[in-house]
Amino acid sequence: MGLVWAYVGVGLAVTLSGIGSAIGIGLVGQAVAGVMSEDPRNFGKYLVLTALPGTQGIYGFVAGFLGLNLISTLTAAGTLTTEIGLQILLACAPVGFAGWLSAIHQGKVCTAGIGLSAKQPNESGKALVLGVFVEFYAVLGLLITIFLLNAV
């Protein structure tokens, strides 16, 4: 049963953060498509804001990889109990939930940043900084997941 709980944790880390990234990128992508219908020359500037919510999916993938490595090690040693499987599930939760929610909200911030950049091109750096503020909480989710996995 421990193996099942551990795999559920890895799955949540990857799936929730991936869903959040897909939603966040979708929001920004819609705004970029609208703005570029008026002026397609600034695609490069908009690309960074579009990609930013995708990093949470990467964080979930990294956590999933670390979780799978831990599962493999514990399974080979014969020490993956139900209790440890639950610990792995709970260790993977921060990156999953933080990635899911922060990617969606980062998508909203970056969508607003696209509007700002379209109307005031010289302010696009500020739009990027605002998006990075939201990123910080996804990074914290990944870090605590790494610390928790190392403590299992």
Q: Which domains does the chain have, with CATH numbers?
A: 2-151 (1.20.120.610)
- State the pTM of this model: 0.93
Mean pLDDT of 51-60: 97
Instruction: Give the residue, 118 or 84, on which the prediction is more confident.
Output: 84
pLDDT attached to residue 44: 85
Contacts of 134 (CB under 8 A, 6+ apart): 102, 105, 106, 109
Supply the Cα-derived Rg of the chain in whole angstroms: 18
Contacts of 43 (CB under 8 A, 6+ apart): 32, 36
Q: Is the pLDDT of residue 95 over 90?
A: yes
Mean pLDDT of 58-70: 98
Q: Is the pLDDT of residue 18 over 90?
A: yes
Mean pLDDT of 70-84: 96
Which of 129, 130, 147, 140 has its CA nearest to residue 59?
A: 140
pLDDT attached to residue 35: 92
Mean pLDDT of 72-78: 96
Mean pLDDT, the chain, rounded, equals: 96
pLDDT attached to residue 39: 82
**Whole-angstrom distance, CA of residue 8 vs CA of residue 133:** 30
pLDDT attached to residue 124: 86
